[in-house]
Amino acid sequence: MKIFQLCLLTLSGMLTGCSTLDVHSDHDPSADFSKYRTYSWAPTPAGQEPSDSSGVPSGLVEKRIRGAADSLLPAKGLTPAAAGQEGDVVLHDRITQKEKVQSSNVGVGVGLGFGYGPWSGFGAGYPGGSTYQYTQGTVVLDFVEAKSKTLVWRGSATDAASSPEDSPGKIREAVTKILEKYPPSLSRK
């Protein structure tokens, strides 16, 4: 029975460890994305610095998000605005966190019947399961049209938060997957 419990625990750990990014995007259908050629970053409002649950200082998180986006946006037709100038779109970035609990309920039952009529039979079952608590992190990128100050595109990626050692790679992966959906006309397939 202990081997069975160990197998259940291992299986539930493997299933929770196989998390994948959950990526979403939305846009203003009236926006003409072909006219956006330059971008600039919005200053981070005081008291709203991005952070993550792994203890990485917020300035590093913001630097990683913006660095990843800066390296990917030229391939999307967007270049940084000249120093001191506002781009056609102003980018806003943030990270949100939420504590989550995932449970796995796996049970095994065995039944055996012999004899005559309803007076025979045997049944046994083992309820198994485990719970796993983790922090879920979401990276959000907003594109705001500079002239009208309206949100024209939003992308987000959600996954389990990672350790400080894994944070740079996870953030880059999230930003990459988000920007695969920009601009909306090119991401529809």
12 or 48, which is more confident? 48
pLDDT at 32 over 80: yes
pLDDT at 1 over 90: no
In a domain, 58, yes or no: yes
In a domain, 5, yes or no: no
Tell me the pLDDT tens digit for each residue of 126-184.
677 788 787 888 999 999 999 999 999 999 999 988 777 788 899 999 999 999 999 99
Output the CA torsion sign for 136, 67, 60, 153. negative
In a domain, 31, yes or no: yes
Phi, psi of 147, rounded to the nearest 5 degrees: -70, -50
Task: Give the distance, in angstroms, between the CA of residue 186 and the centroid of all CA atoms in the same chain.
Answer: 21
CA distances, 81 to each of 38, 88, 141 (Å) = 5, 8, 18
pLDDT value for 4: 37
Structurally, the chain folds into a number of domains equal to: 1
Model confidence, pTM: 0.71
Give the list of residues 6+ apart from residue 117 with CB closer than 8 angstroms, or none.
none
In a domain, 157, yes or no: yes
Mean pLDDT of 75-100: 93
pLDDT value for 164: 75
| Tokens (6 digits) for 52 | 């993550």
CB 157 within 8 A of CB 178: yes
In a domain, 7, yes or no: no
In a domain, 123, yes or no: no
Instruction: Indicate which CATH number applies to the domain containing 166.
Output: 3.30.160.670
User: In 10 A of CB 166, how many CB atoms?
Assistant: 12
In a domain, 92, yes or no: yes
In a domain, 110, yes or no: no
Q: In terms of residue numbers, what domain contains 141?
A: 22-101+130-187
